[in-house]
A and B are shown apart, each in its own frame.
Chain A
């Protein structure tokens, strides 16, 4: 009897042990190991981009490894950035033995960051909760980061040990620069519209001609308002240091900018006119490309604004810059593409409606214009000097001041029967000027009834001259044109008057006699 009881107890014990051992995962426990990668800087201007997984701009990457022999269950990873991004969590039911889990943190960042004007330290907090064999465990990690000021741009967020040292790594943040392209900023649009009006009101997206006309007007507006290029310090292009980049409105206010500021500024102005634009980064430089309605793309050397050259010359210089860029590493940033992906500008403070006037932006010519110098010309009356872009002449003081349309200066008598025009184009030949002028006259409905070639002096130069007999629906008139080149620029100095009006013919010659270069 006792033996049976002892035997039964042993068997019950064996049964319990067997059941426990069968139920217990004999593979063992799960063991969590992890790595955390975190960005060190957040570019406030592009704060909206960080929350978009499509852009891949994660702020933290958590890699969990299960190096144990059992599963890890109910994993929850939570992230927050102090007051700038509320806590968000993600859960995973299981991480199998030998498995890896890669979790990326795309924070929805508060627009409060746009109020920061200086880099501000902050903390990224990560909490990992999980269960191993029913036991709850927690890991907490804090990483410091800095939230950059609203104007700060950093060319690369890679640490030295991450960077390969290539140009592409040094400029790995380049696409984020499209956050500075503020196409919808009312101030920028107003500036562009003002330039457009200066060009006679062009519909830039209608045709290449209209686009060029519009861009030229905008460029000319900047020229007459004395926009300039300011050089950046040599440390500007280093990949790690935060650099102050101006928004287009800042460039308009200050009337100056670095090459990157000016590239962004002009590209933005083009986009306000419905044109597609790009920003090209090359080592130590940046410049815009503008796509015309036909699909043709023109490079613009925006820093040429400093030399007050015409838009035409800025494009020529842009071509040289483009050729230089293609000799080495470069990146072309498609503004529309990246903005449609979600890299969009931050909210900027509202400005008063008349702010352009306050900033002294005006469509009136400042570079040229009448000066106080007066004199008496034969024929009586006072004359004043007009100083143009590389030339000057005198005209009757009681006439309206000549107007500079960016490529030509136009003077008209009070009775509007006499016109005096100085046209100039860098890099052109005399023949180019003659052909272009005569062609445009014809296309404007003015018939050249006769032309007589001759030579005539102007500013100490013996110029190729043409005496025109012209006809249009407004009557017959005569024109005298002198074509010549000086210092790489071609000039056409022309005056026209009703046929047989000797008085105006003499007046024209008088004005020509006051024409000076330099």
Chain B
């Protein structure tokens, strides 16, 4: 092999790929990283249903894209209430807020907390969760969730209000656990009183009878 040939050949490779590279870099594109800032107030009742008020604030570009994709709030509402959702929503009210590039929503999340017998369990979903404060049955958390397959993220401040009598509240991973024993309702004290009166009556009625026997 003549060395000069190989030498020229390698230069030519360089030539072609410099051309390609310069063109390719001219064609370089940027994938936009989407960010949504959210606030959520979630009040959980004694049946495990969560009553939620939520606001999502978008970047202007993403807000426009969202509005293009869902021109009416009806479409957006259907998107959230979609049957493919892992959550069962009820009474959803949702509205665009064009002046602030945000969406406001109010809804009930049925079965948000599940009674596991000894305790209740509330799964706050994927993402990183940090507890900011806890005051009695109220917790403030920050949730960071990836969106669009990692192309964006949602940072949300969650205020979680658990039932008034919830006790021993703890967070394990993204799951909130608390104790709230279920009491069968309707132990009517009238019947207890009636039973006591019956016992007393029986005692009074039968005591002289015994004495008579003696």
Contact = CB atoms under 8 A, between A and B. Distances in A.
Contacts of A172: 84
B68 interface: yes
Contacts of A333: 149
B30 A63 contact: no
A212 B86 contact: no
A58 interface: yes
Given A61-B86, A94-B117, A423-B16, A164 B149 contact: no
Given A93-B117, A101-B111, A102-B111, A441 B29 contact: no
Contacts of B171: none
Given A8-B206, A93-B116, A102-B111, A289 B29 contact: yes
A2 to B, nearest CB: 12
Contacts of A18: 191-192, 194-195, 198
B48 interface: yes
B99 interface: no
Interface in A33-65: 37, 54, 56, 58, 61, 63, 65
A167 B19 contact: no
Contacts of A17: 191, 194
Interface in B131-190: 148-151, 182, 184-188
B103 to A, nearest CB: 15
A26 B197 CA distance: 21
A410 to B, nearest CB: 7
Interface residues of B, number: 74
Interface stretch (A115-123, A254-262, A346-354, A442-450): A442-450
A98 B87 contact: no
Interface residues of A, number: 109
Contact of B150 (A165, A337, A419): A337
Interface of B: 1-5, 7-21, 23-25, 27-31, 46-49, 65, 68-70, 75, 78-79, 82-84, 86-88, 110-111, 114-117, 126, 148-151, 182, 184-188, 191-192, 194-195, 197-199, 201-202, 205-206, 209
Shortest 8 CB-CB distances between A and B: which pairs? Answer: A26-B186, A444-B11, A416-B2, A15-B198, A93-B117, A18-B195, A100-B110, A440-B15
22 contacts: A12-B198, A22-B195, A26-B187, A27-B184, A37-B83, A65-B110, A93-B115, A101-B114, A168-B69, A212-B21, A213-B13, A278-B31, A289-B31, A297-B29, A312-B19, A322-B29, A329-B68, A333-B149, A416-B1, A417-B4, A425-B19, A472-B7
